[in-house]
Structures are given as C-alpha cells and as structure tokens.
Amino acid sequence: MTGSYNTCLLIDDNYIDNFVTRKLLESSNFAKNIVVMPSSSEAINSLRDGLVKPDVIFLDLRMPIMNGFEFLQAFEKLNIDKDAIKIFMLSSSLDPTDIKQSFDNKHVTQFIHKPLTKKILEELAP
C-alpha cells in the first residue's frame, strides 16, 4: 500500500493501543503523516485551530473526559470541511448500541473492532 492518505489522526487514550496502531499505520504506508492524540478534547482543539488537517481519523469510543460520541458532537460544530474527513470508529466495544450509534452518525464511515489489522487497512485504502 502506498501512502494513500496525506494525514491520519489517531485519537485514543491508551498508550499501548496508540503505539501498536501507529506502527501498523507506518509499516503499511497508510498515510504520509500520522498524528496521535491521547484525548478527544486535544484533537478538537487542534482541528479547530487548524494545527492538524486529517484526511482520515481513527477514533476510539471509550475515553475519559470526552468519549468518541462527545467528540463527534464537538466535531459537528467545527467550522472546517468535515466532508473531506473520513472517520473510522476504532473500538473494542461489542455493544450493539455503540455500533448502531456510530453508524447513525453521518460523519462515521465505518465501525472497526480493535485491533486494527493490515488486512483492514488495505480495505480502507481509497
């Protein structure tokens, strides 16, 4: 896979998950730039301030302070080109309500169960 995306934003509060997912994204050349943020609020601030302009976001669901769904609510209010960004929920949740709520959000492209794999990345490439 060649760097199909310019910038990938990974939002997850788990250090180990971030480390593993980042290594997979790098080894797969999924994106030219990979930005990792440990909190949704930090990601919202960076998006709002134009510090990061991702083509794709991998968003964890279960995080303290601001969870994935709260991120999506804040994301909706941002004055940026939201249609240019694909959001993939990346979660270990098996709760059907979480999955349905993810798909009901117009900004979520797909719900992916952790862990992310090379095969899944190949399917997500444009």
Tens digits of residue pLDDT in 34-50: 999 999 999 999 999 99
Reported confidence tier of residue 22, pLDDT bands at 50, 70, 90: very high
Q: Which residues contact 75 (CB under 8 A, 6 or more apart)?
A: 44, 47, 82, 87, 107
Which residue reads 């993810």 in tokens? 102
CA atoms of 121 and 42, how far apart (whole Å): 25
Any idea which residue has 């964890």 for tokens?
Answer: 60
pTM over cut 0.85: yes
Fold adopted by 5-124: Rossmann fold (3.40.50)
Instruction: Give the CA distances from residue 40 to residues 22, 28, 35, 37, 120, in Å, rounded to whole numbers and listed in that order.
Output: 17, 25, 13, 7, 23
pLDDT band at 3 (very low <50, low <70, confident <90, very high): low
* Segments making up each domain of the chain, as ranges: 5-124
